[in-house]
Structure 1
Amino acid sequence: MDAELLRETRLQRHVRTPWRGAKLGLLGIPAMFVGLWLLTVFSMITSLIGVLLFPSAVTLLRNQADVYRDLIGRWTGVRIERPYLPEPEYEPGAHGVLKRFLVRFTDPATWRDCLWMLADPIVVLFTAALPALLIVYGLWGFALAAFAGGVIAGYGGGEWYGWVHVQPGYESDGGLLATTVVLGAVFTATGFAIGPKMMTVYARWGGLLLGPTRRSELALRVRHLTETRSEAVDASAAELRRIERDLHDGAQARLVAMGMSLGAIEHLLDKDPEKARILLAETRASSAKALHELRDLVRGIHPPVLADRGIGDAVKALALDHPLRVEVTADLPARPDAPVESAAYFAVSEILTNAAKHSGAARVWIDLRYEHGMLRITVTDDGRGGATLDGGTGLRGIERRVGTFDGVLALSSPPGGPTIVTLELPCALSSPKTSPS
């Protein structure tokens, strides 16, 4: 759900929703013309110009539909996924143009979007825009009672407001004036009262046409799994190369040196026991360093505290060794599966490293909790802000890491801070939480 929507109080939502509905109602005017343009291009489909214009008309249609999806998500919390089928790479030339036309023409989402653009200007009047219309009508009632009714009656005009007939003599009839004010108040209050409910109805209408069909859901799912599988394979290969490099450059080199030293010690035991004793001490120190490097390597693969105590205590241990002041709050009734814990741990570790390197922060707050089948981790720092997913800070890599588990990463980092990174990983809790000993 959008952060702005979460911060709204119930009263604020009732006040703001009617005007949001009015904006959606006004948006229906250009949307209708976009839908009509697609139908116009479709009518020329038997000619070359229709084939050439159709893909760009569909792009315009999809951009307009994306505006609706974004607004519905921000104002109702109902997230509507883009339903379009994956498109292949198009080769240049006439064959590529024809293939692009056929792919977009046969995508059911194209015609569902078109139906939305043509029908929404009517539907929105009876759903999202209805509260604003009621409020405006209620305000018109106040205007009639205050001055407009007298003006209309003075010029010999007449109109009905509800069941009140505005005609000559209206401005001097206290009963009619009072009834008009009451009706205006009822219409205005009703508009504010039903605003959120009407917006919810409108969001369901949006999900019906702007959301993915079963076919597109399966296609999008296949594409997502293909991408995450490829990313998981690449990440595993990179991790294996890192382990191999660390072993080769660290512990392996020390063990080879220890073997050579032991060979030298064997030859020196009888000839020069004192030098052999010095080499033996150096070999003992090398063995300790090799053991330390192997332990660091193991921690980099899967920290023992993570295996023994779970993600909550592992992140707390991570915070103790961090150069910034890090406060950790963990509310996990049980432990997630080990792969999810590992992905979450290393994601948090990378975010903390980014905060130390790039944010200029003094403090970091980490919140871990389990809600609605999701492991939710929020990392907030008081730094300068301005972080982006493409800013070279490794956040895109973290997004790919959690994406392997169908997780998502959300970033909020306005200039001046704070920076808030939120991770959500779907998972089940598999074992009871370890109690502190």
Structure 2
Amino acid sequence: MRATLRQAARATVHLVLAAAMAFGSYLFITILLITATGAVAVVGVWLLPETVLLIRRIAGAKRRLTASWTGREITEAYAPITGPVRERLRTAVRDPGTLTDLRWMAAYYAYGWLTVLMLPLWPAGLVVDGVWSGLLGRRALVLPLIVRLADVEAGWSAALLRPSPRALLARRVEQLTATRADAVAAHGSELRRIERDLHDGAQARLVALSMRIGLAQRAYAADPDAARKLLADAQDQAEEALTELRHVVRGIHPPILTDRGLVGAVRALAARWGSPRSSEAESGGGLRVTVQTDGLPDEARAPAAVEAAAYFVVAEALTNAAKYSGSDRAEVILARFRTGLSVRVRDEGCGGADESAGSGLLGMRRRVAALDGVMRVSSPVGGPTVVEVELPCVW
């Protein structure tokens, strides 16, 4: 009985809010009539986009209310209303989401009042169910009816507010356009980084190497000892140039990914961060990294582009943790799910990560978006910082 009462109480709250929204929708028809009159007269045509935005907010509130009852999110698919008045008007009229919201609002005028009419069943249900249960020892009847009514109301709203295939397609095209632009920007940024690394690193060292070899050739006959010293310096320069080239190659596609796969590469990366002799540890003050795999065996291989993006996310997130978090430990979790790969990097540092501060988060997000992935960052002040990435792929 207590479980029934709790569920009925939740249903009542849902129905009260739905009834209030239905009542507000009836009042809103006045705004719609004013807008329609103004649009016909052309004088108030600028009101139409603002009215559509207001309808979107009302429909969005109803989507959230319905999702809180059903536990299933209702997707929104709207074209952004921006730009000059003419463009805003065109978008407001042609957007398929506008028709969806208007259809829901028209239907809600009809079935919304059912919630108002059924609400008195709650106090009456307490009396009837109490008498029924006390006399006959049977299960309550009215309270489950209230729950059922909330289910029906939420089901109708969910069906009416669900975006049309055309709206979903338009939103998908918009998302792909944005991710393509991000991919192009990320590609251009990567090319500039490679060019800068080659120019400032390997190229400079190769020029110095060529100069030392030339000087050694000139000094070889007159001063063999000086020539040998110049050749020794040239050898050091050659080794440093090779190191720079390896660094550039790792930035393009780490060879260790090809040799060991993602799991092995991430474990090697964690080991380098924990080694006091590594350049990573020296730059960040040392970072103990634990790596966990959830349903992802060492031999499991995702597509090369997915592995490279996941490795880049882990490497960049660990770099940020070492430089900015103030924590000496971090955790990496790699997990395989049916349609993709998830990466989770967590540190217990000071938090407050900001994508606009040049911490590499924007580059991570662009690389993930280019593969149609999703990236979430949680970094409240005081920590912890958690970077979660989901990359779709076929196993």
**Under TM normalisation by the shorter chain, which class is it?**
0.7 to 0.9
- TM-aligned CA distance change 1:47 to 1:222, over 3 Å: same
* 1:139 alignment partner in structure 2: 126
| 2:227 maps to 1:286 | no
- TM-aligned CA distance change 1:349 to 1:15, over 3 Å: farther
Mapped contact 1:369–1:375 kept (Cα < 8 A) = yes
* 1:18 alignment partner in structure 2: 11
1:396 offset after TM fit, Å? 3.4
1:174-195 CA-to-partner distances (Å, cap 9, x unmatched) read xx78349856x44446766x69
1:369 offset after TM fit, Å? 1.2
Decide which of 51, 58, 61 is 2:55's aligned counterpart. Answer: 61
* 1:120 alignment partner in structure 2: 108
The whole-number CA distance in structure 2 between the counterparts of 1:234 and 1:138 is 62
1:206-253 CA-to-partner distances (Å, cap 9, x unmatched) read 453333322222222222222211211111111111111111111111
1:113 offset after TM fit, Å? 0.8
| Aligned 1:47-196 pairs, distance under 5 A | 47-73=41-67, 76-87=70-81, 89-90=83-84, 97-120=85-108, 123=111, 137-141=124-128, 178-179=134-135, 182=138, 185-188=140-143
- TM-aligned CA distance change 1:389 to 1:205, over 3 Å: farther
- TM-aligned CA distance change 1:204 to 1:67, over 3 Å: same
* 1:342 alignment partner in structure 2: 308
1:283 offset after TM fit, Å? 0.9
- Identify the range of structure 1 (274-283 vs 43-52) with the bigger mean alpha-carbon deviation: 43-52
Letter in 2 for 1:405: L
The whole-number CA distance in structure 2 between the counterparts of 1:241 and 1:356 is 25
Q: State the secondary structure of the residue aligned to 2:311.
A: helix
- TM-aligned CA distance change 1:317 to 1:56, over 3 Å: same
- TM-aligned CA distance change 1:352 to 1:24, over 3 Å: farther
- TM-aligned CA distance change 1:15 to 1:377, over 3 Å: farther
> How many residues get paired?
377
* 1:163 alignment partner in structure 2: none
Mapped contact 2:69–2:154 kept (Cα < 8 A) = no
- TM-aligned CA distance change 1:252 to 1:396, over 3 Å: closer
1:106-129 CA-to-partner distances (Å, cap 9, x unmatched) read 3232132123234336656879x9
1:262-282 CA-to-partner distances (Å, cap 9, x unmatched) read 111112221111111111111
Mapped contact 1:136–1:188 kept (Cα < 8 A) = no
| 2:275 maps to 1:312 | no
The whole-number CA distance in structure 2 between the counterparts of 1:414 and 1:77 is 26
1:369-410 CA-to-partner distances (Å, cap 9, x unmatched) read 122302122222223444455565443332222111111112
| 2:389 maps to 1:423 | yes
* 1:367 alignment partner in structure 2: 333
1:342 offset after TM fit, Å? 0.9
The whole-number CA distance in structure 2 between the counterparts of 1:371 and 1:378 is 13
The whole-number CA distance in structure 1 between the counterparts of 2:29 and 2:380 is 36
The percent identity for this pair of structures is 42
Mapped contact 1:411–1:422 kept (Cα < 8 A) = yes
- TM-aligned CA distance change 1:134 to 1:290, over 3 Å: farther
Q: State the secondary structure of the residue aligned to 1:51.
A: coil
1:76-123 CA-to-partner distances (Å, cap 9, x unmatched) read 453333222355632xxxxxx344223312323213212323433665
1:269-311 CA-to-partner distances (Å, cap 9, x unmatched) read 2111111111111111111111111111111111122122222
1:317 offset after TM fit, Å? 2.0
- TM-aligned CA distance change 1:401 to 1:70, over 3 Å: farther
The whole-number CA distance in structure 1 between the counterparts of 2:53 and 2:191 is 42
Q: State the secondary structure of the residue aligned to 1:336.
A: coil
1:357 offset after TM fit, Å? 3.1
The whole-number CA distance in structure 2 between the counterparts of 1:428 and 1:36 is 52
| Aligned 1:229-378 pairs, distance under 5 A | 229-322=180-273, 323-330=286-293, 331-333=295-297, 334-378=300-344
Q: What TM-score do you get using the length of structure 2 for normalisation?
A: 0.81
The whole-number CA distance in structure 2 between the counterparts of 1:324 and 1:49 is 65
The whole-number CA distance in structure 1 between the counterparts of 2:272 and 2:157 is 48
The whole-number CA distance in structure 2 between the counterparts of 1:294 and 1:181 is 82
- TM-aligned CA distance change 1:390 to 1:115, over 3 Å: farther
Unaligned runs of 5+ in 2: 274-285
RMSD of aligned Cα (Å)? 3.5
The whole-number CA distance in structure 1 between the counterparts of 2:206 and 2:389 is 41
Q: What TM-score do you get using the length of structure 1 for normalisation?
A: 0.74
The whole-number CA distance in structure 1 between the counterparts of 2:264 and 2:117 is 52
- TM-aligned CA distance change 1:14 to 1:397, over 3 Å: farther
Rg comparison, structure with higher value? 1
Mapped contact 1:38–1:58 kept (Cα < 8 A) = no
Letter in 2 for 1:67: A
Letter in 2 for 1:265: A
- TM-aligned CA distance change 1:73 to 1:337, over 3 Å: farther
- Identify the range of structure 1 (300-309 vs 204-213) with the bigger mean alpha-carbon deviation: 204-213
Mapped contact 2:350–2:384 kept (Cα < 8 A) = yes
